[in-house]
Structure 1
Amino acid sequence: MNRYCTADAALLFLRVTASVLVLLVHGLPKAIHYASQLDAIEDPLHIGKTLTLGFAIFAEVACPLLMIAGIETRLAALPIMLVSVIALGLVHREWTLDQGQFAWMLLIMFGTIAIGGAGRYRIAWRPRRSGRRQV
């Protein structure tokens, strides 16, 4: 196994495991328990609880699914990172490093994915370019 294949396998492992973790721990519980989450969620950017929760669900459900598939991986990592930064910087400013370690780990994992991309092991998805015939 050459080093590029190993790097691609490492990116696949990181992308899938980090995304499944966010999806199971944060995303699906928010989506499944939407009404109770709407009451509980904070609105640190003052854009409304519905929009705040909607963005959190997008970041923690849709983006991990895109990342698992390897579709627009670098772009999909950014909303997850943004939610983590908002949690650390605005919602839970009082957290010590120890208390915020999960959010810091998400920043590290998804920052690494944003830098490294999807790697070779992904679903090949590209929009058709107008005027060009696909062969």
Structure 2
Amino acid sequence: MKTFVSAALIAAALIAAPAVAQRDPAYQAARSAGQVGEQPDGYLGVVGAGSAELRALVSNINIQRKAKYTESAAAGATVEQFAFTSGCNLILKTAPGEKYKTPGGGWATRGSGAPERDSRCV
């Protein structure tokens, strides 16, 4: 999949998805504890099995993200392209100690360097 997303869409991706989730203390606690992490597809993932409550929280955040991606994609990209670009940016914005999914599909903990991202990320 080639990702040809305009600068405006990329800028929107940086702020659209995590804005609501960042206000939720349960999300922040799960993120800090390494129970959730960012995925290359632009959605949040549960690291390991996770409780039903945690899975519900992640599902709710992902529903909100998809709604934002769908709204923003109307400007000229597909939802998948917009979600992928968001995933690239969200992984880049993880802090040391936070989890993210590598291009190979495994969970990694961000160190002090840049996270491993898909080669299509710009």
When normalised by structure 2's length, the TM-score is 0.31
Choose 1 or 2 for highest CA Rg. Answer: 1
Q: Structure 1 or 2: larger strand share?
A: 2
When normalised by structure 1's length, the TM-score is 0.28
